[in-house]
Structures are given as structure tokens and as C-alpha cells.
Chain A
Amino acid sequence: MKLKGHKINGGRVEGEAIVCNDAFSFLGDFDPTTGNCLIKSPELEGKSMIDKILVCPTGKGSSRGPLNTYRAMKLKKSPKAIVCIEAEPVLAAAAMVANMPMVDRLDKNPLEVIKTGDWVKVDGDDGIVEVIHSGNQSPFHQ
């Protein structure tokens, strides 16, 4: 499935999705030394975000979030890209300083059509996100 959206940061990558249903902050929700997610939920806590595609509604929290993505990039513990409903400047800067492609304002709600574990291609240059569902998690193969 191809979703058309809006470029926040350029570049083309692909990887496994990690879906977070709440606004995300790289300060507090993410540990740049391990690359793990710190959100207290059974599906997310302790889960590695390294080389994943973060899917979330928007950003929130401290202006220092981008310092954590930059640090994670240097330690090779960073996610690969961000797909969100509506970007805000702190989450966008987090993507920019760590060279993560980022796309928002897609024609479908990414939280509804992307599941954790799905393979996702992110084209930040053209604002396109392609979702390739993994077998057992695909809503079309249940």
C-alpha cells in the first residue's frame, strides 16, 4: 500500500515499523545509549528502536529531544526514519540532525494502516510511504 504525504526531511530508507500511539519525545521515551524505547507499555517498553521506522501521531516534550537522536546516530543506535500524522518543530529537528527521512500528513492515518513489525519504505524526498505488511500481522491475511 502506498501512502502519499508531505516531506519533512529528505532521504530514502526502509525498515521495520515500531508504532507508538502517543505523541513521542526522544527525551524521556528513548534511551540513546541502548536505542531502546522507554515508554511504559507492554508492547513498547525495552523494545529496540535501532534501524526501525518510528510511526507516531506527533512530537512532544523537551527541546533537547534532537540531542538524543544525534547522540544515538553517533552510537549507531538511532531509528532509521519517522512517519507521523502531523510533525512539530522539535520532532522534525530530531529527524534532521540524525539524517532520518521524515514524512507527515499522509492521505491515510499511519497509525491505522501500519502495525509494529510491518516492513515500511520511506521516501522523504517525495513524501511517500509504502507499507509492505508482514505475513502474520497483516490485516489483509487474517
Chain B
Amino acid sequence: MTKEEKGMLNGEYGPGIQRSMELLVKLGEAFGAERMVMAQSAHIHCAVSLDLLSELTESATQCRVTTTTHANADPNVLDPIGCKRIGIPESYDLYEFIHGGPWSKVVDIFKRLGYLLTNTCIPFYVGNLPKMGDVISWSGSSGVVTANSMFSASGSRDSVPANVATSVTGRVPSIGLTIKENRYAQVLVELDRLDLENFTNADYGALGYYIGGKTGSKNVVINGLPKTLTLEQFRYIASPMPVSGATSICHVVGVTPEARTLDEALGGGKPEEVITVGRDQIKEAVDKLTTAHSNEVDLVKFGCPHCSIIELRNIASLLRGKKVHSNVRLLVATGKQVYTLAEVMGYVDIIKKAGGVFTDCCLGSQDPFNTIGPKLGVKIAATNSARSAHYSARTSGGKIKLLYGSMKQCIDSAITGKWMTT
């Protein structure tokens, strides 16, 4: 450890930084780290408890790395009137007992430390964009797999206390994906005659969902995707991988900065396993995600992970001049920075006029409708997000059934109230 790191551990920088460094050192020792490495970015879950946060940051004046906050504060913030109309309770505090104190006090500490209150799962769209080789400690498995795979930043499976500890110390123990040898792909995915030109984001989501389910925590490389693959399309591939599996890195040959060739992704070695994905496998994933046996849609949701500005533009263009069916709730989740831009562009107005409602909460594991939906008579939800579909089916205890398809299919069903298969 450097002199400065030893100083942090000895309490020279105050009790919070000392406690944080102790945690990172313990983690490093437990997993055989040889040293601490400098971190460049942290991203913190809003569900962090007030007492633990206070303990880890006591007398720290400012975070040492760019730090943003994750989704999941209060679903009503962006659109309180709309949220009330579709039945989200006003005093919604998902984490009251976990916080161990009021959310406003958590916010006070976040602000004191200079955490950027982005409240979104897409930190890279709102000012927390790591470059190749940057070491990150992030909450949110979809952000971590995206940062590792699209930017070649180094983020390992980490816990919320470790995220906080890194934000105030600027350090990460050198374990997991901070080590080059641990990043090489173990499983090779080959694509077999997929019609990629006409692939929708939902098709990409099915691809990721299938791969995650077959590869567990192994590092993956996908061969055969076009070099023009967008960050957006990749987010749809990546975000379901840590929920059907436990993926942290998924190289895309020719797209991932550190995987210019297949050989580079594999570190010059041979894959442990080769998986082939064709139309049958995509269908298998779609069938697994589709749990509804009726086509009467109650809820349509976009934004897991949070929508980009391009997605909001597409939703607005499909909804322009239309009305959401009176039996259907349409929920759109995004970060408030993206929302502000969509407001400037007029997309918010179009979507709201059509009957859509905005939120910046999570529509994955913490989708409020997973708990309140069944009480409000929401039985069937439609989405283009495999991650959201997976979580809804489970966290509602099977009470919400899912329909899975493209954004166009979802919007059509929001307008007509009926799901049409293509």
C-alpha cells in the first residue's frame, strides 16, 4: 500500500475514510489482492442505509472519484400527477426500513460528498462515462456489464458498501476484472443465420437472455455481430445477461475496445465452450419470457435499463396523435437529465398527451407495479425489456404475467389494449 493508503487506514483522513479503507483492505485480503488500484468512477445505489452510509463517510468532505447515484429513489419525482393517476402511492418509500432513516438525510450526505444525484441506472449517459482501462465500482449489474464490455472499463461484481468505500477513498482492491487475465472470454457464442438486419431491441434482449442462461458467471464473447452495433442495441443484449446468468463481461468482436479480434477476446487461447444461437434459441428465450396466456394488456412499460433519448424519440414518434387505451397504463422510465432533453425536444409532451406516464425509478427488480400492480388489478404487462420481464414475473410472485416483444408491438398494444403477435 502507498503512504497515502496507509494513512487512510490509520485514520489520518478521518473515521469514515478509515472505515471504508478497512472494508476494501479486508475484501482485498479475502480475495488475494496484491495491492490497491486507483479508481476513476463510482455509482451508488439509493437504497444505501443512512447509518451505514454515515459510518463509511463520517467527516469525509468530498468523494474522490466521479460518483453518481443509481435509480430507485422515489418513483413520483418526474411526473407526480401521472404517477398518482395510474395508482402509485404518493408517499412511496420502497426502502424505508433499509434506509433506517429518512431519504432526505441520505440526500444531504450524498450532496455533501458531491455525489451527482442522477438517480439512474445509465450513469454513462449522464456524466459518468469511463474510458478504456478506468477502474470503476458501480451498483447495478447492467451498467457494470455495459461498462466492461462497451468501454473496456474495469468493474467487478461489487457490493453497495464497497461502492461507497471506493467513492471516498478512490481505491479498489485489485481483484476480479481489474486483472487483465481475468477478463478474457471463456465461452464463445457463434450466431447462426440470424436476420440481424431486421433485429429489434427485443430480439437483442432475447439473445442476451438466452446467452446469460447458458453461461452463468463465465466471461462471454459474441462473434458475428455487425461492427455498427449501437450502444443501445448492446444494452439490450447485456442487461438481461446478469439476471438469466451472472455475466460481468461480454466481449463483442470488433466492437469491444479490447476485443478487436476473436483471438484478442480469448487472450490467444481456446474457448472452454462454444454455443451457437440461431432462430430456435431466440424463440426459446422469447417463449420463456412470455408467461401470459391472454392478450388483454393492463400495463406497458419501457425503460429497463432507463430509456435513452433515442428511445424516447421513437416512443414519441409511435405515439404522436394517438391515445393510450383507457384500460392500459403506459409507464416510461428514464433519468431526469434525459427527460429534460426530451422535454426540450417535445417528446415528453407527445408521450404525456397520449396518456403515458414518466418515472425515474427502476422498472427491473424494484418496479413498483411488481408489488402494487396485483392490488390495482394489473395482471398482464407488456415490455420490450427482457430484464424487466424476468424480474416482474418473479418479484410479483407470478401474479403479473408478461408479454414480450418489440417497442412497436408494445405501443400498438398500449393503444388498442390488445397484444397482437407479428
Residue A63 is within 8 A (CB to CB) of chain B in the complex: yes
Tell me whether A90 and B157 are in contact in the complex, defined as CB-CB below 8 angstroms, given that A9-B30, A62-B365, A68-B98 are known contacts.
yes
Instruction: Give residues 71-101 of A contacting B (CB, 8 Å).
Output: 71, 74, 87-90, 92-94, 96-97
Identify A64's interface contact among B29, B31, B160, CB under 8 A: B160
Residue A70 is within 8 A (CB to CB) of chain B in the complex: yes
CB <8 Å contact, A93 and B100: no
CB <8 Å contact, A89 and B175: yes
Residue A12 is within 8 A (CB to CB) of chain B in the complex: no
Contacts of B26 on A, CB cut-off 8 Å?
9, 92, 96
Residue B12 is within 8 A (CB to CB) of chain A in the complex: no
Tell me whether A71 and B175 are in contact in the complex, defined as CB-CB below 8 angstroms, given that A9-B26, A66-B160, A94-B159 are known contacts.
no
Instruction: Give residues 41-91 of B contacting A (CB, 8 Å).
Output: 45, 47-49, 51-52
Tell me whether A70 and B49 are in contact in the complex, defined as CB-CB below 8 angstroms, given that A89-B27, A96-B23 are known contacts.
yes
Report the nearest A residue to B22, measured CB to CB. A96
Q: How far is the CB of A45 from chain B (nearest CB, A)?
A: 14
CB <8 Å contact, A87 and B98: no
How would residues 1 to 27 of chain A score, 1 for a CB under 8 Å from any chain B CB and 0 otherwise? 000000111000000000000000000
Report the nearest A residue to B163, measured CB to CB. A63
Q: How far is the CB of A52 from chain B (nearest CB, A)?
A: 21
Report the nearest B residue to A6, measured CB to CB. B30
How would residues 14 to 32 of chain B score, 1 for a CB under 8 Å from any chain A CB and 0 otherwise? 0000000001001101110
Report the nearest A residue to B72, measured CB to CB. A64
CB <8 Å contact, A66 and B98: no
Contacts of B98 on A, CB cut-off 8 Å?
32, 64, 67-68, 71
Residue A137 is within 8 A (CB to CB) of chain B in the complex: no
Contacts of B23 on A, CB cut-off 8 Å?
93, 96-97
CB <8 Å contact, B157 and A89: yes
Report the nearest B residue to A62, measured CB to CB. B365
Residue A138 is within 8 A (CB to CB) of chain B in the complex: no
Q: How far is the CB of A126 from chain B (nearest CB, A)?
A: 14
Contacts of A7 on B, CB cut-off 8 Å?
29-30
Contacts of A74 on B, CB cut-off 8 Å?
51, 100
Identify A33's interface contact among B48, B97, B157, CB under 8 A: B97
Q: How far is the CB of B46 from chain A (nearest CB, A)?
A: 10
Instruction: Give residues 187-209 of B contacting A (CB, 8 Å).
Output: none
Alpha-carbon distance A60/B141, docked complex (angstroms): 12
Residue A65 is within 8 A (CB to CB) of chain B in the complex: yes
CB <8 Å contact, B49 and A93: no
- Can you pick out 15 interface pairs between chain A and chain B where the beta carbons lie within 8 Å of each other? A64-B45, A64-B98, A67-B52, A70-B49, A71-B49, A87-B31, A89-B27, A89-B156, A89-B162, A89-B176, A93-B162, A94-B159, A96-B23, A96-B26, A96-B161
Spell out B's residues near A (CB within 8 Å): 23, 26-27, 29-31, 45, 47-49, 51-52, 97-98, 100, 139-141, 156-163, 175-176, 246, 365
Spell out A's residues near B (CB within 8 Å): 7-9, 32-33, 60, 62-68, 70-71, 74, 87-90, 92-94, 96-97, 102
Q: Report the 3 A-B pairs with minimum CB-CB distance, sorted nearest first.
A: A93-B159, A8-B30, A90-B159
